Amino acid sequence: MLKLIVACLLLALAATVTEGKVYTQCEVASALRAKGVPEEQVATWVCIAHAESDFDTTAINSNTWDYGIFQISSIYWCESGDSAGRFY
């Protein structure tokens, strides 16, 4: 019985693990360009991403539930810090 409980706990933990990535400045700039961000805005967005998250996709500000490399606030874009909101 104990082995079953341990196995279930390990399975539950494995199911909740997410992968994040820390991008380089060049990777962020390339991704922005690929998505059609105007060239004159790329440097600004890269600077914002660097200041907000240091390019870490797992960055979360627990005080206001801000997410991702641009630290998008859950106040406006998500519901209760655990699911996508109506604007997602």
Q: Which residues are catalytic?
A: 52, 66
Asked if residue 78 lies in contact with residue 86, where contact means CB atoms within 8 angstroms, the answer is no
Instruction: Please give the Cα distance from 59 to 68 (Å, whole number).
Output: 5
DSSP code of 22?
Answer: B
